Each structure stands twice: as structure tokens, then as C-alpha cells.
A and B are shown apart, each in its own frame.
Chain A
């Protein structure tokens, strides 16, 4: 009898799905999140997502020593729970999973050093902190492959949602994209790791949509890193609320009054069935950009162009004397929130074409240290800033796929030097070599971790698909470099 019931169930199911002419968009997302499997991961996607993980951990470790991180951590420490998740780069702090996701997400974006995708968002910071915080609390430890799969689900959902609006292809003006799609990505990834049903996955997205959307005005302030921290935290929360049975609108992605509220030209489409052969990971077709300086992505074009123009200028004049410079013209896309002529805080400096151009001109490089208050306040730099003119040519579009930067330096004697950057090193068209990516990671991570920790993380992430328990990553992330903590580590 059992077999009969089962086959009739299947028949019913088959009938139902043939009766329904088309699946809802949200429904297709819920189904895909549940159905995607490790066998669907391609080699290309595995390689690229491992690079994203390594870079995210590095910038997160470095970010765990920032002022905004400390404030958020102190606030988060009021909360306790039986489930405990670690804070990256802290051997001594344990937080409830939501708050671990929150502070680690803040760390990742605290310096604006994390990856950027096209259309523009910072995809990893919303996902990885949520997943690692959640993984630590699960009764059976996910494997490295489980983690990679959930991570890619979180990235994929963000990429799909970004493509629901043409407007989203450009540098934003209204909502900060990671606050819109990031929380959805975190919810999807968390739902995947929790093994939720297709319906629960849809509800997780619906609940997460009510936590989405932060205005762009808070870019270039301490609150911007909170956008990523909150995306990670509240996506995880949404998945767990869905798990215990909370429901939202099951058509949240289908409606203008759903996720559509965050866009002016919302046009959603379903996610292909992962088994139909029509499914392709966006990450396979569109790689991410990795930053080489802790600043808004657009600054990277400026810095490369300025360095080239500086070298030419030096060739002509023989020596570099700032007082010879009469004016500096930057030809960049029009985008108000990264046009900041006289930044006073590090967060403004990370969002200032002018500051990054002048720093590069003055120091022949832009580094983590360039954004310290002392460096920002240098009189020589302020002097240079006063000589900058910004031009926004019509053909220079505010899109990370199409923008360029042109720099012209003119001296009092009428000498001029012109340079242009179309694609900086680190952009998806010109990706960082694995060696440079690992070097960036090592530099960032070693500010916090001991050598063993740094190498351990590189090793685990590099072999992620073969790791049996992803928790091993957490143990390396706690190997801090102070001698006292090293000592206690050895005793253990």
C-alpha cells in the first residue's frame, strides 16, 4: 500500500506542476535555494568563491582593529546566548551568532576594503560572517563543500536581484546596494546551510526584504560598515525566523510593493531550475573586483591614473616638487557621494576622488596608512587638494564596468602630463594574481593573527572543497599574534 500512496502522491505532484502554467518568481528562488547542490558547483565558481572568502577574511581581520568595530563589539557584548560564535581575530570573545555576524560584517566593510561585484555591490561581507557564525552553532558541522555551496547561493541570489533593475547597473544614488541585496543573500545562504524547505526559503527572503534598504547618505560615515554587518545579521535572523515558522509574503520578489520598492525600474525574472540544465552561476560569467587600497572602488582608477601621470611628470621635470604643480584635473564619472573635495574623516577620505588622487601624487602610493587622521591632516595634502578640479565627461559613465579616469597635471611653467586608467589591476577584467591576492591577505591578516594562523587560513580556504569540517577555519581565525594569547593557545 505504501508504494501505491507514494506513486499517487507523485502523480498528484506531477499533475499540480503541469497545471500551474508558471511558477512565481519568489517560488522559483525558494526552490532553487533548496535544490542547489554541491554537484552544481563548477570549478570556476569554486576557485572564484574561494578567492572571495580569503579576501573577505583578510579585510575582516584587518578591520577588527578599527574604531567602528570596537564600538559595535562593545555594544554587542551585552548579549549572551548558549549558542556561541567567534569574532574573527579575537581569541577571547564569544558572541551570540547574530551579533558575531554583525561585528564580523562590520569588520569586513569597516575600511571599504572588501570585494565589489558588477552590478555594484559588496557581495561577500553580508554572507560569509553569517555563515561562519551559523556554522559554529549547528549540531553537525558543515563540510567545506557545504560552506562553499551556501556561500555561492548567497552570492548568486544577490547577483540575480541586482539584475532586476537597470538602474542598479550604475553607481547608486538612493539605497546602498549591500543593504538591499546583501540581507537577501545572507538570508538565502543561511537558509541553505539550515537546510530549509523551498517554502521556508521563500519566507526567509520575504522576512529579509523587510530588513532591507539603507539610504546612501550614510555612505562615507561610520554607519556604512553597519550596513554590511546588519545585512549579515538580519539575513541570518530572517532564515531562523522562517525556520521556526514565521511567514512573510510568498510573492515578495514578484511585486512592485515587495522587493520592488527599492528600485524605480523593477523587472524581476525567475531563477532557472538547477536541474534543468539552464542554470548558470553568475559568478562563472562575472568575476568580482578585489581592492588593493581600502577605499571605494572608483578610487582605484584614480590612483592608477595619478601614479602614471606622476611618473610622466617626473620624467619631464626631473625632480618632483609639489610647488611646481599648478593644477590637477580629474576626469571621472558623475557620482555625488564620492566627490568630496575636502574630507575630514577617514570614511570621507575613502569616498573622495580628490583625496585619493592627491595622496597618490604626494606619496607615490595609497595604502592602509594613507587614511590615518595624521595623513589626512597633512598641510601638503590640503594644499594639493586645493588644486584639484573635477570634470565629469558625458562619456564617463558611473558604472564600474564602463568608467575610466583621466588625470592631467599641469605645472606653473606650462608643462603638462596626462594619463588614463581604463581598467585597474584588481578589476574583473584584470584580476589579481593568486600570489598578489594571498599577499594582500597575509598583509591584512598578519596585523592580527600569528604566522600559523595566517598560513592556516590560506591553507584551509585553498582546500575548502576537501575540508571535512569547516570549523577548522574558526580555530585559525582565533590564533592572534600577541604573545600572551599564543601562550594560552599552546597550552590548549
Chain B
């Protein structure tokens, strides 16, 4: 409460206090834009006051804050004073024809009606799946460490909820961080083409930001979905600026490159920032992007998604305070790298204005892959191929697989160093090992959450199989999720050869999970953490998200 008692006689302060209500009100935002010419402080105050008066009653803020519970006042005061700021007066309008400006304009101007039924449907599936993997991820060691870190380093801050932890709330950026870590902690989250994990960087940031907004003016479900889709779309567009990015990466972990940008874009959209602020948010986020691939298959990889979510939110909040960055960050400028620093073959393209009617969301044309078990996407091909061999082996005689029948295991997979791990030592390494996933599936007929537990990983028969594995990288099997395949060839002691091949696993965008399968995955993940009423409620709320007036119904079910 000490902050509420601080004197703030400055009229500007009072003006700022009312801002979230303005920011949440699209009408008043456009009025604020009209006031862009007012550069002096006192002029801003006038405009701000006028805007307040012109707001529709729903968004009007009683100046004496009467009728609100005390906690609520504290929260609002904090929100109003610290997080949000009047859209900055634009001193140097960015040239309209730059790629960067086109992105800022798109983020700022896209509207819910631009979302097609297909895009709505697909994005709701992503939201549901991402919540589910986040919930089960809230029981992992790495999540525990991340949460402990936030709780140890910062005072309690009852704002944004933490997946699956009833009663635990954190400052918004910290909640975005831990929930992002949860989402990627088991490598169970969605994968797009070109390869990145798009939802984990965006959804936790949007939840954290929505939690920050006053209870009576949360974004609608549709606004929430729009912001989510903006975050996904920006990531997809940026991935297409490089041909290299179409293959499984070697240098930067893609979610750390495009993830913070997606989070910044989504949060800028939800905050209704103006086009210039949206482009600054992207540029600020670019300075927070990029982590080396070498940290894949370690505990630091889940931190990549957590940080993408957190830092994108931070970039949007800083941009909303008027912080400026390069207006050319996405453009190719020789000798001064912007976003191109992360790619060898960078060719940026402007984004069409949504109003010209020419814009089609990438998600409309390129669906998502959902994982059936918690491992790197490349593991799904080899696992399905190995499971087919398992069936043959079981049929071959004994009813169960006896490792000592196996003379040799040949895997024909793409060449990608960081998922080629003959003898993984940690769960994180196991999730990135062709060998481990193939042998687990050979042995068990499937790979599940349990396959990565220490008892399952330390089985002697599994290690026996691992010692029999050879790998080949055929020319026609590129390290690309749209073109790769997995082939498993097992030679038995007697000389018999059994073969399995997977061109498209179930869950891949060419062979998508049915709604039923997706919900089944969600339920089994969520039930680890939440009571079944909440699990069912989440399924319903996400299904009707685009028709909800208030996304609070979703926020309240996450713990």
C-alpha cells in the first residue's frame, strides 16, 4: 500500500493513472493518436483529460476510485503508473516504405475480422495444446528452478498467475518467464514449419499481460486470439526471411530469434500500441534475441522459450513508455546488421496492410505439428518407424521384444548433430536423441512421458539396444521437417531383417491430430496438475474463446 500513499499531485500522474482504461478502449486510442501533434506535457494532459471524457461509460474511470476494494486500487495504481504509458508523440515518423514500418503498421492495424474460421480454429488448438504442455511442464525440475529463482530474487507480486500453482502469482514478466519455461521444459510444445516452437513464446506473455489488466476491462477472447495470432504470424513471416531457416538449425535456436519478436508483437497488439511503437517494440526485442544451439538438450533450452516470452513482453512495455530503437531493424542494411545478424541469407519482405484485403495468415496455409510425446519433433518419425518394427518383432514370436534377438539397428535419418546422441545421459539429452527414441519405441512399442524418467532411461535392455545402433544419413533425407523421413532397419541374430519407415507421423501438419486426439493429449497433461472439473472447463473455454466477452474466464482456470 505504500505506493498508493505516495504523493502525486502532478496532473500528469492522474492522467496516467487512468490510462489502462484508455488503452483498452479502441475508440479512445484512436483519439489519442489524433493528439499526436501535442508534444508538450501540458498539452498531453489536456488531451488526456478530454479523452477520458470522451470515453464510453464502460471504460470511464471514477477518479476517486470509490467502490473498489483496496487491493484492487493498489493494483490499478501500480499498473497505471508503472506499466503503461501514453503513446509517445512521434517526432520522427518512420519512412512508410520500410519493411520495419510495414510490420509496425500490420501489428497495430490488424483487426479481429481479419481472422478466418480456419485460422481461429487452428490457433485455438494451439492455445489448448500449449496450456496442456505448460501445465504438465509445471512439474519438472527445470520449472521448479526457474520458479524458485523468481520467488527468491523478487518479492511476492500478486499479479500474473503461474501454471498449475494455485495461489502463486508473480510480476507479469516473471510469470511469462516461468510459464514459458514450463511450456518448453519437456520439449512437448508445438512445432511449425520453418522450424520453431511458436506458441510458448507468445501465450505465457499474453496471459501475464491480460492478468495485469484491471478486472473489469480484460481483453475479449477475440482480442486475445487476435494478439496470439499476431505473435504467431510475425514469427512465421520472419522465419521466411531466410532460406537457411527452412532447415533444422545449426547456429541459433529459432525460438530465441523469432520468439521474442512474436511475443513483442503479440503484446504490442494487446496493448493497442501505435504503428511506430509496435515497430520500436520489435527493434527492442531484436536486441534481446538469439541464443546458441549448443544449449539445446540442456536445462537452458527451456529457458530460451521463457526468456523469449518474458523479453518480448518487456520490449512491448518499454516501447509503450516511449523507448526508441532502430526504425530499420528488419530491413537489410549492408554494414549495419539488424535482424539479419541472425541469418546468413537474409531477404526481408514487407508485410501487406491488412486493410488492402490481400493479407492471408500463414497459419491458414501452413498448419502446426503437435507432438504426441515430449521430445524433439525429429524423434517422431524415427519413433513411429521403430514402433512399426516393434509390432513386427512382437508378431515374430515371443509376444515381447527380447533385446538379445537384435544384432544390429540401422537408423536412416537426416544429418543433424544436436539430435544425434548415441548414449544420452540426461532427460534433456534423451529428448534430443534419435538413438534413444528409436530404441525406446523398439522396446516398448511407443514413447511416452514416462520413457524419459530415470528408471526407464536406466534400463539395461535399453542400453543393450543403444549399443547396437548405427546411423546413416541418406542424401534424400534432408534435415527439414517438411521433407525428412525416418527409417529403422533391425537385423536379428538369425539374419532376418525387419524394416519400418515413417514419412509423416501422426501429429505432423500433413496428418494432423484429430480434435479428439488433441483433447486426449490435453487432458492427460492437464490432469497431472488440475482437478478434472478445471480441465474440462479449460477445454470448453478455449473452444468458445472467440465468443467470450472477457478472457478472464480463461485466466481463472490456469491454476
What number of A residues sit within 8 Å (CB to CB) of B?
64
Alpha-carbon distance between A249 and B56 when the two chains are bound, in angstroms: 54
A72, A179, A215 interface centre (most CB from chain B within 10 Å): A215
| Chain B residue, CB-CB nearest to A258 | B294
Given A244-B149, A247-B299, A247-B300: A221 in contact with B341 (beta carbons within 8 A): no
Q: Are A174 and B337 in contact (CB under 8 A)?
A: yes
B52 within 8 A of A: no
Q: Are B338 and A251 in contact (CB under 8 A)?
A: no
B293 interface neighbour in A212, A223, A257, A336, Cβ under 8 Å: A257
Q: Are B335 and A337 in contact (CB under 8 A)?
A: yes
B322 within 8 A of A: yes
Q: Are B286 and A218 in contact (CB under 8 A)?
A: yes
Q: Are A81 and B153 in contact (CB under 8 A)?
A: yes
Q: Are B323 and A336 in contact (CB under 8 A)?
A: no
Q: Are A215 and B292 in contact (CB under 8 A)?
A: no
Given A207-B300, A215-B341, A344-B92: A336 in contact with B290 (beta carbons within 8 A): no
B463 within 8 A of A: no
| Chain B residue, CB-CB nearest to A214 | B287
Q: Which of B248-256, B517-525, B529-537 contacts A (4 or more CB under 8 A)?
A: B248-256
**Which residues of chain A are within 8 angstroms of B154 by Cβ–Cβ distance?**
79-81, 96
A210 within 8 A of B: yes
Q: Are A249 and B284 in contact (CB under 8 A)?
A: no
Given A78-B171, A81-B155: A210 in contact with B337 (beta carbons within 8 A): no
Q: Are A215 and B294 in contact (CB under 8 A)?
A: no
A345 within 8 A of B: yes
B290 interface neighbour in A97, A213, A218, Cβ under 8 Å: A213
A75 interface neighbour in B155, B291, B321, Cβ under 8 Å: B321
CB 8 Å contact bits of A193-222 with B (1 = contact, 0 = none): 000000000000011011111111111111
Q: Are A257 and B336 in contact (CB under 8 A)?
A: no
Q: Are B324 and A222 in contact (CB under 8 A)?
A: yes
**Which residues of chain B are within 8 angstroms of A245 by Cβ–Cβ distance?**
145
Given A214-B287, A257-B418: A249 in contact with B155 (beta carbons within 8 A): no
Q: Which of A220-236 contact B (CB under 8 A)?
A: 220-223, 226-227, 230
A397 within 8 A of B: no
Q: Are B326 and A221 in contact (CB under 8 A)?
A: yes
Q: Are A71 and B299 in contact (CB under 8 A)?
A: no
Q: Are A246 and B286 in contact (CB under 8 A)?
A: no
B322 interface neighbour in A71, A96, A209, A212, Cβ under 8 Å: A71
Q: Are B292 and A221 in contact (CB under 8 A)?
A: no
Alpha-carbon distance between A57 and B403 when the two chains are bound, in angstroms: 66
**Which residues of chain A are within 8 angstroms of B291 by Cβ–Cβ distance?**
209-213
Q: Are A173 and B303 in contact (CB under 8 A)?
A: no
Q: Are A223 and B324 in contact (CB under 8 A)?
A: yes
A98 within 8 A of B: yes
Alpha-carbon distance between A237 and B288 when the two chains are bound, in angstroms: 14
B412 → A minimal CB distance (Å):
24
A173 interface neighbour in B284, B325, B335, B418, Cβ under 8 Å: B335
B368 within 8 A of A: no
Alpha-carbon distance between A79 and B314 when the two chains are bound, in angstroms: 12
A68 within 8 A of B: yes
| Chain A residue, CB-CB nearest to B249 | A257
B113 → A minimal CB distance (Å):
33
A96, A211, A212 interface centre (most CB from chain B within 10 Å): A211
B153 interface neighbour in A206, A217, A240, A335, Cβ under 8 Å: A240
B393 within 8 A of A: no
Q: Are B153 and A68 in contact (CB under 8 A)?
A: no
Given A215-B341, A336-B334: A75 in contact with B322 (beta carbons within 8 A): no
A270 within 8 A of B: no
Q: Which of B301-335 contact A (CB under 8 A)?
A: 303-304, 307, 314, 317-318, 321-326, 328-329, 333-335
**Which residues of chain A are within 8 angstroms of B407 by Cβ–Cβ distance?**
none
A210, A258, A260 interface centre (most CB from chain B within 10 Å): A210
B284 interface neighbour in A207, A219, A223, A248, Cβ under 8 Å: A223
Q: Are B155 and A175 in contact (CB under 8 A)?
A: no
Given A174-B337, A210-B307, A217-B338: A68 in contact with B300 (beta carbons within 8 A): no
B295 interface neighbour in A74, A83, A210, Cβ under 8 Å: A210
Alpha-carbon distance between A46 and B28 when the two chains are bound, in angstroms: 59
**Which residues of chain B are within 8 angstroms of A336 by Cβ–Cβ distance?**
333-336
Q: Beyond the given A98-B153, A219-B336, A246-B149, could you list 12 further A-B residue pairs with CB under 8 A, ordered by the A residue number? A: A75-B317, A80-B157, A97-B153, A179-B287, A210-B253, A215-B286, A216-B337, A216-B341, A240-B149, A244-B149, A249-B294, A261-B290
Q: List 19 interface pairs A-B (beta carbons < 8 Å), by A numbering.
A: A78-B171, A173-B335, A173-B336, A209-B292, A213-B291, A214-B286, A215-B339, A217-B336, A221-B326, A223-B323, A230-B287, A246-B303, A249-B295, A252-B292, A255-B292, A257-B418, A259-B292, A336-B334, A337-B335
In the A-B complex, the 3 residue pairs with the smallest Cβ-Cβ separation, listed nearest first, are A336-B335, A217-B338, A210-B291
Q: Which residues of B contact A (CB under 8 A)?
A: 78, 82-83, 92, 142, 145-146, 148-149, 152-155, 157, 171, 250-253, 256, 283-284, 286-295, 297-300, 303-304, 307, 314, 317-318, 321-326, 328-329, 333-342, 417-418
